[in-house]
Homo-oligomer: A and B are copies of this chain.
Amino acid sequence: MSAITYLEAIRLAQQKALQDDPRVFIYGQDIGGFGGAFKATKNLAKEFPGRVLDSPISEDAMVGLAIGAAVEGMRPIIEMQFADFSTCGFNQIVNQAATLHYRTGTPCPLVVRLPSGGTPGGGPFHSQSMEAIYAHYPGLIVMTPATVEDAYTMLLEAVALDDPVIFCEHKFLYYHLKADKLPETVLPFGKAKIARQGRDATVVAYSAMVHEALAAAEELTHDGYDIEVVDLRTVRPIDTDTILASVARTGRLLVVGEAWPWGGVAAEVIARVATEGFGLLDAPPQRLNAKETPVPYHPALWGTHRPTASSVANSLRQLLEL
């Protein structure tokens, strides 16, 4: 098999889920014969007749349908065409899917796939990172895979879990990221990963920002620093133990998120470390997020709006001097 992209890993995971589990079906706009706006379901409608269905442009009803099917024991996967359009299915996700198990004891196993994050020219409505919005609600698992391997294994895991999972897959990684083969083992669900070991500072990141953090860490080797990078993998639950263990080693923390700062993953991680690991910190923890405007359209603006390897490196240099 030639190199597998992050996008192909998502397609293959769905293929495997459909193959292994008759309860799985996929519902979303243009995902049938057309294979989806990003081709994440290419050929699947043909391979699994009647189980990969084009939906009307009705995000609320798409999620409602998934909930009703999940209650009956199915394992639906809903593809949102872009994460940004999930706002139209927001009510069903946060008020029906998220509450069902607590209220009634009936589990609600469904996956909502959100093609997330910025790309050049995406603009305000095709670039959003909504993980913090969903993670606020008890009852929702929120996954943010950063690698080809995780895209594959975590999507399978999402399908297997008994809870509703918001699966934030990053569009910028779709084609950029490649792996030679699919993994045979998986990290336990809910565990973060040390993506790079280091001793001078910890960068906590997730999704596309893991790669910016790794590049920044690389850059800082030239300054003689050895940066640890933690890939959260899931942002709800957050693996606080792994983060604290890393901060215990390094004494310094920078959290990077592509979403807006107010109440985002970075705020939540810092709140946890400050409350539970205050004594481990040798310097004030720091965060780096998107700028506080809608995601701009022009690539030059976009490149400044989101954190990048170089802005992460700058933040790290400042942190290391604190």
A 93-105 binary contact with B (CB < 8 Å = 1; else 0): 0110011001100
Q: Is A186 interfacial (CB 8 A cutoff)?
A: no
* 263-304 of chain A: CB within 8 A of chain B: 263-268, 270-271, 273-276, 278-279, 281, 283-287, 292-294
Measured CA separation A136–B132 after assembly (Å): 8
Q: Is A137 an interface residue (CB 8 A)?
A: yes
Partner of A94, one of B87, B94, B102: B87
A255's closest neighbor in chain B, by CB? Answer: B271
Interface size of A by CB at 8 A reads 48
Residues in A lying within 8 Å of B, measured CB to CB: 84, 87-88, 90-91, 94-95, 98-99, 102-103, 124-125, 132-133, 135-139, 236, 259-268, 270-271, 273-276, 278-279, 281, 283-287, 292-294
Of the candidates B84, B136, B265, B274, which one forms a contact with A285 in the assembled complex, judged by CB atoms under 8 Å apart? Answer: B274
Bound CA–CA A99/B91 (angstroms): 20
Q: Does B88 contact A91, Cβ atoms closer than 8 Å?
A: yes
Contact of A275 among B88, B99, B263, B284 (CB under 8 A): B284
Contacts of A293 on B, CB cut-off 8 Å?
102, 138-139
Please give the count of copies of this chain that the complex contains.
Answer: 2
A108 and B236 alpha carbons, distance in the complex (Å) = 34
A133 near B135 with CB under 8 A, answer: no
Contact B275 A270 (CB under 8 A): yes
Contact A294 B91 (CB under 8 A): no
Alpha-carbon distance between A98 and B137 when the two chains are bound, in angstroms: 22
Instruction: Decide if A270 touches B274 in the complex (CB within 8 Å).
Output: yes
Do A274 and B284 touch across chains, with their CB atoms under 8 A apart?
A: yes
A-B pairs, top 10 by smallest CB distance, nearest first, are: A278-B284, A263-B263, A274-B274, A267-B271, A87-B91, A138-B292, A270-B271, A99-B294, A90-B90, A267-B267
Please report the C-alpha to C-alpha distance between residue A95 and residue B294 in the assembled complex, in whole angstroms: 9
Please report the C-alpha to C-alpha distance between residue A236 and residue B292 in the assembled complex, in whole angstroms: 12
Please name the residue on chain B nearest to A128 by beta carbon. B95
* Complex alpha-carbon distance, A136 and B290, angstroms: 12
Known: A263-B264, A267-B270. 7 other contacts (CB 8 A): A87-B91, A95-B125, A270-B270, A271-B271, A274-B274, A275-B287, A276-B284
Q: Nearest chain-B residue to A291 (Cβ)? A: B138
- List the B residue with the shortest CB-CB distance to A263: B263
> Which chain B residue lies CB-closest to A269?
B271
With a cutoff of 8 Å between Cβ atoms, the chain B residues found around residue A103 in the complex are 124, 294
Instruction: State whether A266 and B262 are in contact (beta carbons under 8 Å apart), knowing that A91-B87, A276-B284 are contacts in the complex.
Output: no
